[in-house]
Structure 1
Amino acid sequence: MGALMNPEHSWPIPPPGGWTADDLDTLPHLPPHTELIDGSLIFVSPQTRFHSETVDHLTWELRSRVPESLGVLREFTIDIDRHNRPEPDVIVFREDDSHGLEQTRLPAESVLLAIEVVSPESVDRDRETKPAKYARAAIPHFWRVENVDGRAVVYVYEIDPATGKYVATGIFHDRLRVSVPFPIDLDLAEITTRRPRPA
């Protein structure tokens, strides 16, 4: 790894050429959910309630609907290439015998759907940087979820095989109905209208 620690700030000093995907598993004292984008470490800011409830809701609903051959994980990194190991908020992936419970990441070729729930500090990454990398890795489907006036709006994209880039296939405000990567029908209003009952 060849990294030195700055004793004054205790921040990792990147090696020549930047960090690699393997470094995320060996660097000490990284904050939870650190991502690697273009060889740089990205630290995640504290998340809003909207972000947390949306990720929880989508994870639960997708897990209840996926075919047996697919799995759903939240906040789990994927290998794009040597210098890119992003962590989508939710992924749907193909299950196979090579996926063990000790894994810390999945290969991008296993991922069918990557979902990003936009936070104020992640707007540019979630709208531009990360979708471009997911498309380059040939992840067939991408959803971006945004908070619009307190409601979840889902922007759905699919790879165009002619260009290798995402094209928008729908914007969903109240209900999300799609047939790929498998039939999905979600009531988006439940994300922000359902609240836990007081104890």
Structure 2
Amino acid sequence: MTVSGIDRLHSQLSKLEDMFPGYVVEIVEGSIVMNPVRPFHGRTIQRLWSIVEEQLPPGWVVVSDVAFPFDDAHEFCPDIAVIPAEAEAENSSSYAPDLIELVAEVVSPESIRRDYEVKPRWYASRGIANYLVLDPLKGHLVTMWNPSAEGYLGRDTIRYGPELTVASSLGKLTLPTSHLPVDPKAPHPA
């Protein structure tokens, strides 16, 4: 697909998102996917944003639900992505995935497979150093690092509760997990 084709597709996705407020719209494996945003999902994103933002070195910022086209069949809108501040200052509707230094997704009932299986392959293939999966359905956080063409070579699962330190290319990020929301009606309880 040409650059103008990608721009047209992205423009169509933006219109869909405008038509369905409260939904995140992405292209995953060639299909348009719409997920409703739930309160626990939003609260987790807000808490993580605050925690990460205050620890970033100068020149880096947090963005959320901004489009990152990986190819014709994959355009992700990560819940949290850390990119250079100068790129964010362009105020674009989409950015190159190669700008992402750290990415985080919050699991919802509809996104389990995408967040745990599909996105790690794509994020790792672009060399994104750290991928965090926050799961209010299971009450745990999965941290992935050491990206390769086959996916992330390092992976740990930590139950919400203790403080987690992520050694990233941005420096050490400390994530207190004890106050992250856990869905009591989750289909996959902890």
Same-fold call, TM > 0.5? yes
Closer/same/farther in 2, CA of residues 145 and 102 from structure 1, 3 Å limit = same
Structural mapping, 1:37-52, within 5 Å: 37-44=28-35, 46-52=36-42
Worse overlay, 64-73 or 75-84: 75-84
CA drift at 1:177: 1.1
Q: d(CA) in 1 for partners of 2:82 and 2:142?
A: 16
Structural mapping, 1:47-196, within 5 Å: 47-96=37-86, 98-148=87-137, 151=139, 153-161=140-148, 164-173=150-159, 174=161, 175-181=163-169, 182-192=171-181
The answer to whether the Cα contact below 8 Å between 1:113 and 1:139 also exists between their aligned partners in 2 is yes
5+ residue gaps in structure 2?
A: 18-22, 183-190
Q: d(CA) in 1 for partners of 2:30 and 2:146?
A: 25
Q: Which residue of 2 aligns with 1:33?
A: 24
CA drift at 1:39: 2.8
CA drift at 1:101: 4.1
Q: d(CA) in 2 for partners of 1:28 and 1:73?
A: 16
Identical-residue share of aligned pairs (%): 22
How many residues are paired up? 170
| 1:55-99 Cα deviation digits (max 9, x unpaired) | 110011111110112111112121212332111110111233x54
The answer to whether the Cα contact below 8 Å between 1:155 and 1:168 also exists between their aligned partners in 2 is no
CA drift at 1:126: 0.7
CA drift at 1:25: 1.7
CA drift at 1:144: 0.8
| 1:159-189 Cα deviation digits (max 9, x unpaired) | 345x552023432332211221321112111
Normalising to structure 1: TM-score of the pair? 0.75
More strand by proportion, 1 or 2? 2
More helix by proportion, 1 or 2? 2
Q: d(CA) in 2 for partners of 1:27 and 1:113?
A: 24
Closer/same/farther in 2, CA of residues 21 and 114 from structure 1, 3 Å limit = farther
5+ residue gaps in structure 1?
A: 2-19, 194-199
The answer to whether the Cα contact below 8 Å between 1:21 and 1:85 also exists between their aligned partners in 2 is no
Q: Quick one: higher RCO (CA 8 Å, sep 6+), 1 or 2?
A: 2
Larger radius of gyration, structure 1 or 2? 1
CA drift at 1:27: 5.3
